Copies of this chain bind each other. A is one copy, B any other.
């Protein structure tokens, strides 16, 4: 039990189990894991889950810098590079880190080619039109490949569209779409004479439901390490796989049979992703301090430092939860909730998070 509330708790056993399961999947599919550290942002978590020799993925340069300081050498910075970040990328390369960047435009590819930065570069492929990347059938793919020349490392993609799926069979189709797009891009580049080594796919949902990754060399899932209510709603995990929760204290009783707790919008985040799923968890599902779901209890509303806990099925027996009692909240979206906290409370230690940019 964390003394100070609200506090982010991490269940190390679930973390290890989630990663072991994903590692088994990757082995069965014949691909490497390049774990995405954007959710955990923690050297301690990485120590616990990254295998010897594996590369990692990061979402910010401050993560890259922290992991470089801890000895990680093969790091993919998986958010589109722009020239304003050249100095920090260069500094990492000069420290001997194999920092790799991603591009999806001929302009940036040319800029990199004429700079003397020398980072390995992956081309970002758009599998579903949801965010970034060049389409496999876009002629700019070849232009980018030619501009990069020998700095080209591979092609990578992120199936953002998988988050809009409703169940496993839809996600499996999104996974095949993701695979097909990035493999097609690799083949087209190879046909044009480019040396494409890496073929990388992302996303926890597709990594969980893919049945075939032919042509793919690696997967970059991240949030699966912690899982969350949204992933549970997708069928990616069970509720008892969720490895992070926010411990909170009851600070008030409302006359309508609701509790007020000291975890609000800052401690839980404003993520409402489960609102578009069959089971809407408000701002989080409520458990006791042993992690057992309290039937029907969820965080109905939040303001900055207040959460309102309601019972889906009616009012709460307030006497069961005196002021000062402790509850835990399972997050809708682990990446967002974890980001509000300085680190993870484990029974005997505290694992700091890497924050900022």
- A38 to B, closest residue via Cβ: B304
- A266 to B, closest residue via Cβ: B339
Asked whether B324 lies within 8 Å of A84 as measured between CB atoms, the reply is: yes
A154: chain B residues within 8 A (beta carbon): none
- A6 to B, closest residue via Cβ: B357
**Surface stretch bound by B, among A18-26, A90-98, A100-108, A179-187:** A100-108
| Interface flag for A303 (CB, 8 Å) | yes
Residues of chain A from 59 to 80 with CB closer than 8 A to chain B in the complex:
59-61, 79-80
Q: How many copies does the complex hold?
A: 2
| Interface flag for A351 (CB, 8 Å) | no
Contact with B along A317-357 (1 / 0, CB 8 A): 00000111010000000011001111000000000000111
Asked whether A336 lies within 8 Å of B132 as measured between CB atoms, the reply is: no
Known: A131-B306, A251-B79, A270-B269. A342 touches B356 (CB 8 A): yes
| Interface flag for A201 (CB, 8 Å) | no
Asked whether B357 lies within 8 Å of A7 as measured between CB atoms, the reply is: yes
A306: chain B residues within 8 A (beta carbon): 79, 131-132
A217 to chain B, nearest CB (A): 24
Which of B267, B272, B357 lies in contact with A5, CB distance below 8 A?
B357
| Interface flag for A54 (CB, 8 Å) | no
Asked whether B59 lies within 8 Å of A304 as measured between CB atoms, the reply is: yes
How many Å lie between the Cα of A184 and that of B248 in the bound state? 33
Chain B CB within 10 Å, residue with most, of A251, A271, A341: A251
Asked whether B82 lies within 8 Å of A324 as measured between CB atoms, the reply is: yes
Asked whether B305 lies within 8 Å of A38 as measured between CB atoms, the reply is: yes
A14: chain B residues within 8 A (beta carbon): none
A80 to chain B, nearest CB (A): 4
Asked whether B304 lies within 8 Å of A251 as measured between CB atoms, the reply is: no
How many Å lie between the Cα of A176 and that of B146 in the bound state? 69
Asked whether A303 lies within 8 Å of B252 as measured between CB atoms, the reply is: no
A137 to chain B, nearest CB (A): 12
A264 to chain B, nearest CB (A): 9
A308: chain B residues within 8 A (beta carbon): 131
- A7 to B, closest residue via Cβ: B357
Asked whether B336 lies within 8 Å of A80 as measured between CB atoms, the reply is: no
Which of B82, B105, B252 lies in contact with A132, CB distance below 8 A?
B252
Chain B CB within 10 Å, residue with most, of A105, A250, A340: A340
- Can you offer 21 A-B residue contacts whose CB atoms are under 8 A? A5-B84, A5-B357, A7-B357, A79-B305, A80-B252, A80-B260, A82-B249, A83-B324, A84-B324, A85-B249, A104-B252, A105-B252, A108-B323, A132-B251, A132-B254, A160-B303, A266-B336, A270-B270, A270-B271, A270-B336, A340-B340
Q: Which 6 A-B pairs have the closest CB atoms?
A: A80-B251, A270-B270, A82-B324, A83-B324, A82-B251, A59-B305
Interface residues of chain A, those whose CB is within 8 Å of chain B, are: 3-7, 38, 59-61, 79-85, 88, 104-105, 107-108, 131-132, 160, 249-254, 260, 262, 265-267, 269-272, 303-306, 308, 322-324, 326, 335-336, 339-342, 355-357
Q: Given A79-B306, A105-B323, A266-B339, 5 other A-B contacts at CB below 8 A?
A: A60-B305, A131-B306, A269-B270, A270-B271, A342-B356
